[in-house]
Structure 1
């Protein structure tokens, strides 16, 4: 990995309720487009920080905001113990999606104005973050958005008409949290949308790209990540 620099930054919430932190990873030299990395239910953990660092090594300014800060700042969990899963689901159940999108919008504004940013901003999210990446496409001015196995997108398809910039979805065919009916609804709602591109991974379960996760599938993860990298290169660097 090329030399990168990292820091924790503070972002003001749009509703004036306080500040929240974000992990920021910057490329070795020069400016670059920005990518907002949107957390799973485990908070801004080592896996998400590593993703930011990899994007920075590829020439992007990558930032991962703490979206659970309104409940508990600094959540950093793994998927390795039952106790952590229980806490993660409790945080997920208490999460305000609308406020989360407001905080992502604040993050986009922050990183777009950062001295190392070219002004182009994309977003990529996983699980809960996959839903939020879809809503980032419908509710913010992010330039390109990618959703990995987003949970609950089928319930927000009435917002699809608001998508005006490129969106990519990676769908796990055997997703334990997004059943076949939900997947069919997502396809029905987005397949004909000019800005949307959907990819299916028929044998993959939820979180198939989470390294060291229970359902990690290297071939599918590599394919999805390569598609995402090409997508961002086209829409953020081009």
Structure 2
């Protein structure tokens, strides 16, 4: 699997990722992948509803290959530890149950713990949140409550509508002015065939960010579907769109961190 084009990593150069508690014993854990040398910054990787699976761990490894400390929090930790799901219909149903059990305030608290850990490990450089689908929502929500440098989000859901506990009564872009106040640059990607985040909603998100004076860039890929960036989802994967998006992520990390 390749999600970001990086230089070859010689055997033994990259440390193996590992699970570790972030702060309170018995509290939230995260999968942490460290670069070989001093970090160029830190990236909090927020997963899809499938948990910290092989795809997410692969992203962490490639970010570490670029020189960033990568941390993927286990947001399901209160109900199921170290969840790792594949992309079958049955596993999606399992993920939906876990996702619907998440609460907004819990997510903000967990994102705060992840940010504190990332700041401490970033070597004096900046911190980014990189979110995928559900994780994209988490990253945008975190930007309304926390100060960090970059939110890079792939097909984030529920930006302007509620109805799920993880969203709470107020969708994140209703308070987009807080993102501007926190100084977070938002870089977002969506396909125009996305069935979860349709073009009209994506355009409304663009308008809301502009009105709130949030520094941002939202990119739309013609013919791309929800999940287009994931090679482990062949029915949805769009290699050309994915490659362009990850190149933009690399540039944004270099610029903002």
Give the SS at the match of 2:138. Answer: helix
SS at match of 1:32: coil
Distance 1:190 1:202, change over 3 A: farther
SS at match of 1:43: coil
Question: Alignment partner for residue 20 of structure 2, among 6, 9, 33?
Answer: 9
Q: How far apart are 1:119 and its partner, in Å?
A: 4.1
* Structure-2 residue corresponding to 1:147: 153
Could you list the runs of 5+ residues in structure 2 that have no partner in the other structure?
Answer: 1-7, 162-170
Aligned residue pair count: 231
Q: Is 1:215 the counterpart of 2:236 in the alignment?
A: yes
Distance in 2 of aligned mates of 1:177 and 1:144: 23
Partner residue, 1:49:
57
Aligned partner (choices 173, 176, 194) of residue 160 of structure 1: 176
Stretches of structure 1 that go unaligned for 5 or more consecutive residues are none
Structure 1 outlier segments of 4+, above 4 Å: none
1:188 aligns with 2:207: yes
Determine whether 1:96 maps to 2:103.
yes
TM-score (norm 1): 0.91
**In 2: Cα distance, 1:194 partner to 1:185 partner:** 14
Looking at secondary structure, tell me which structure has more strand per residue.
Answer: 1
Give the SS at the match of 1:23: strand
Query: Shift of residue 31 of structure 1?
Result: 3.0
Shift of 1:118: 2.7
1:145 touches 1:167 (CA, 8 Å); kept in 2?
yes
What SS does the corresponding residue of 2:251 show, helix, strand or coil? helix
- CA deviations 1:167-217 (Å, max 9, x no partner) are 111122111111233223212212453411111112111010011212010
TM-score (norm 2): 0.85
Q: Distance in 1 between matches of 2:114 and 2:159?
A: 22
* Greater RCO (Cα-Cα under 8 Å, separation 6 or more): 2
Rounded to whole Å, the distance in 1 between the matches of 2:254 and 2:59 is 16
| Segment drifting more, 43-52 vs 84-93 | 84-93
